[in-house]
Chain A
Amino acid sequence: MAVFTQGLVAQDNVLRWGADPDSNAPFSFFERGENGALTGFEYDIITAVAKRMGREPVFVRNDWDGLIPGLARGLYDVVICGIEINAQHAAEVDFSMPYYVTFEQLVLRAGEPEVTSLDQLKGKSIGTLDQTAALRMLKATPGVNVKAYDEEVNAYQDTANGRIDGVLLDYPIALYYATPMHGLEFVPKPFGQISYGVAMEKGNTALQQEINNALAEVIASGEMRDILSRWKLWTPAVAQAFNQPAEPSLPPTSYEAFMVAAATQPTLVERLWRYWGFLPFLAEGAWVTLYVSLLSMIIAVSVGFLSAIMRVFGPWPLRWVATIYIEVIRGTPLFIQLLIIFYGLPNIGIKLDPLVAGLLGLGLNYGAYEAENYRAGLMSIPKGQMEAARALGMTQAQGLRFVVIPQAFRLVLPPVTNDFISLLKDSSLVSMITILDLTGAYRQLATTYYDYFGTGLLVAAVYLLLGLPFVRLARWTEQRLAVDTRRPGHRPGIFALPKGKKKA
């Protein structure tokens, strides 16, 4: 089902294609149900194209905003995700020939007066997606309150429940998301005209040639007409663009299947059963969250320890370096740091695997906080301890290793475990750089089933369960190390809870 690519090596017999599958019907999206497969008309098109190129298609997920930057990063070879062919996009990427033409569809709440021109939307709130032709058209209309959404389904839901007044988006999106929802109506007049193209890295003329050849074959052979017919997307405009008959060649089976699935309102039992079915998928995500967090924490502890030692005991250049690192990292948001590492570094030639970027970002960020924890711990050890060590003939390094650091370790354990629990949650940000962790799994499920609340509670519970063993472990370790506050001869077991007053 979901594919998480780890290497960035382009193989000749593989065509890696990128898209954002969340709320992405009918383009490329995951079917509902236990083993929801990837499907959609773009999925069908790219599969057909790859076949004619003699390559194996491999899907790489990314977020809508990251799709085009991902090309520069080499995450995939092409992007096919309803990307409009226009001058602005053409400045960043190369396009294939158009594989679909369509228009902007305005959807309003049922019963609203009919609209024949965008100027009539003055004073209203209209939702759309970022980086679309619809957004540009709305922004060019004076007096319209434009609201850009991450997920299409949210825009339509907000229209239905009155938060905004309408949605202007590409016709395929409106067809699939607005139709099953109650209380919405389509405005008959189409607005504008746009076409979609397959996007690829600028200058890659060889690939562009291959894609275009394959696309031409898919169109000429009638396969394109079959695909679009099944999805109820074979409009007269498209037929004219490809110079083929206007009637669909096949009944809209895929469209109808989608509508049936979307219309089903599950009973409570069915819902609970469905949540039960989510668990294996969530477990995979939870595993990713766990090992990303653990590995990042190891990096953070090491970096933090080194920085603290540099800052407390180092010569002034090292102290300076450590201080700057700590202040800069603590003063900027973790999210920005991750984006810079993942999308910014390629600009200076450093392309990192998503997992490496995630570990680096989380590790360096938390390392700064660990450094301050350890510095506080080191400085709170009384000076007399180091003096006694040195008076006994130990070097400063020996004093640190055998006397000061073991004591500081016990002191910093509570804040460090606190930080790890925090890191477990912050690791959710790596879902924004294409890693399918627990939060990534949540978003995929929530947008596939339009169920944010129930799924959200379930995922929150999983996060809670993930953190619990570590809280316990930390508590036990603290007690084991608290040698100077317990009765002689008493060693607590791992399930022991702290007792009250000591007996004399």
Chain B
Amino acid sequence: MEGTESLVSVVGLHKSYDEVEVLKGVSLNVEEGDLVSIIGPSGCGKSTFLRCMNFLEIPTAGTISIAGVTIQCHSLDEAPEAALQEKAHLLRQQVGMVFQQFNLFPHKTILENVALAPMIVKNQVRGEAEEKARGVLAKVGLADFADRYPANLSGGQQQRAGIARALAMTPRVMLYDEPTSALDPELVDEVLQVMKDLDREGMTQIVVTHEMRFARDASDYIVFMEGGHIVEISDEDEIFENPKDERTRRFLKRFI
């Protein structure tokens, strides 16, 4: 976990909604090529933490640094919203996100879903964008489904399409917000397999998940959160066999 400059660096992240503080000072470094799983009980702030990383939520305080783009947050009154959004926009081009509910665009085919952002944001020509899109879809095993609409795909296929869509923007980091929680059990594996393949290719991935077996098998290390804090960061085998903190032990009781 050491490095001269981590690919992802979060320092002292705070997030409050009105009076309620959901993140109480969270810090984390992620190196290039790591697959990090974030686990914890519901309400611990893990999704909020992830969404702060690409500024879908705006932190109340703290510093986030991804692939050279650094954003410092003070209390909301200080930093003007527009300037912050501008920087967040730059940051998001380095970060891809995969959602629990897939959030595919229902009025477009899978191919169009994947090619849309490169055309609009990167100004790629349609021909080039669609060719690259087909490539990415082939990578996640959906080459034959390119001309289908999301409604005509199974859950697992939709999520894989979601991953392809995020990959099409060639991000440096992929964020996953409970990617398999909305899937039928038999469809979960096809998605996890894609994530393992990406890991082998060297993609940096941060995954909020409940899939303990996946977390154990695929992660480089695991982050356990509770009550807005990071309680423990451990090697993936070690956290299951020998959790350092009592709270971690309590949470993992069922899996140990």
Contact = CB atoms under 8 A, between A and B. Distances in A.
Nearest to A391: B97
Nearest to B117: A392
Nearest to A404: B105
Contacts of A483: 106-107, 149, 151
Q: Chain B: interface residue count, which band?
A: 20 to 34
Contacts of B107: 406-407, 410, 481, 483-484
A117 interface: no
29 contacts: A382-B103, A384-B99, A384-B101, A387-B99, A388-B99, A388-B103, A388-B105, A388-B165, A390-B56, A391-B54, A391-B92, A391-B97, A391-B166, A392-B165, A392-B166, A392-B169, A393-B89, A393-B169, A394-B117, A398-B120, A398-B121, A410-B107, A481-B107, A483-B106, A483-B149, A484-B106, A484-B107, A484-B152, A488-B148
A403 interface: yes
Interface in B148-188: 148-152, 165-166, 169
B116 interface: yes
A167 to B, nearest CB: 65
Contacts of A407: 105-107
B59 interface: no
Contacts of B93: 393
Most B CB contacts (10 A, CB to CB) among A392, A403, A410 go to A392
Given A389-B117, A392-B166, 14 more contacts: A382-B101, A388-B99, A388-B103, A388-B104, A391-B96, A392-B92, A394-B117, A395-B89, A402-B120, A407-B105, A407-B107, A410-B107, A483-B149, A485-B151
Interface string B111-132: 0000011001100000000000
Contacts of B105: 385, 388, 403, 407
A402 B93 CA distance: 18
Interface residues of A, number: 23
A96 B119 CA distance: 74
Interface string A392-429: 11110010001100110010000000000000000000
Contacts of B92: 390-393
Classify the secondary structure of A's interface with B.
helix
Contacts of B152: 484, 488
A398 B92 CA distance: 14
B248 to A, nearest CB: 30
Nearest to A409: B107
Nearest to A388: B103
A387 B165 CA distance: 14
B154 to A, nearest CB: 14
A393 B149 contact: no
B160 to A, nearest CB: 15
A17 B126 CA distance: 64
Nearest to B150: A484
Interface in B57-100: 89, 92-93, 95-97, 99
A488 B120 CA distance: 27
10 smallest CB-CB distances across A and B, nearest first, come from A484-B151, A388-B103, A392-B117, A391-B97, A384-B103, A393-B121, A393-B93, A484-B106, A393-B92, A483-B149
Interface string A78-94: 00000000000000000
Interface in A295-330: none
Given A484-B150, A488-B152, A394 B121 contact: yes
